[in-house]
Amino acid sequence: MASASESLSHLQARFFTKQEQYAVPDTPFSVPATVTVTELGALINKLLQGQREEDGSSIDFDFLIDGEFLRNALGTHLEEKGISSETVVEIEYVEKQPAPEPIGSVLHDDWVSSVHASNDWILTGSYDNAVRIWNEDGENLATLQYHSDPVKCVKWISKDGPVNLLVSGSHDNTLLIWEWNEKTQKHKCLHSCRGHERSVDCVAVDSTRTRMCSGSFDKMIKIWSAVPGEGEDEPSEIQEQQRKKARSEGRRPLTRTPMMTLEGHKEAISSLAWLTTGELVSASWDHTMIIWDMEHATQKSTLTGTKVFLSVSHSERNNLLATGSADRHVRLWDPRQKDGTVVKTSLTHHQGWVSSVAWSPVNANQLISGSYDNTLKLWDIRSPLAPLYNMSGLEDKVLCTDWSIPELLVCGGADNCLHIFKAHNIEPLSSTAGSSEMEQDQR
Domains of the chain: 4-95 (3.10.20.90), 101-422 (2.130.10.10)
Higher-scoring residue by pLDDT: 51, 205: 205
What does the pLDDT average to over 131-154? 96
pLDDT tier, 429 (very low <50, low <70, confident <90, very high otherwise): very low
How many Å apart are CA 363 and CA 394, to the nearest integer?
A: 25
**Comparing 16-30, 152-166, 223-237, 239-253, which segment has the lowest mean pLDDT?**
239-253
Residues 6+ apart with CB under 8 A from 311: 270, 271, 283, 323, 324, 354, 355, 356, 357
What b/e sequence results for 356-389 when a residue is b if at least 16 CB atoms lie within 10 Å of its CB, and e otherwise? Answer: bbbbbebbbbbbbbbbbbbbbbbbbbbbbeebbb
**pTM score of the predicted model:** 0.88
Residues 6+ apart with CB under 8 A from 130: 109, 143, 144, 145, 147, 151
How many Å apart are CA 324 and CA 305, to the nearest integer?
A: 11
Q: Quick check: 435 pLDDT over 70?
A: no
pLDDT value of residue 339: 60
How many Å apart are CA 347 and CA 323, to the nearest integer?
A: 10
pLDDT value of residue 441: 35
Higher-scoring residue by pLDDT: 231, 436: 231
pLDDT value of residue 161: 76
pLDDT value of residue 57: 80
Q: Quick check: 292 pLDDT over 90?
A: yes
Contact status, residue 378 vs residue 424, Cβ threshold 8 Å: no
Q: Quick check: 338 pLDDT over 70?
A: no
How many Å apart are CA 35 and CA 48, to the nearest integer?
A: 19
Q: Quick check: 249 pLDDT over 80?
A: no
Q: Quick check: 351 pLDDT over 60?
A: yes
pLDDT value of residue 241: 57
What does the pLDDT average to over 376-381? 97
Q: Quick check: 398 pLDDT over 90?
A: yes
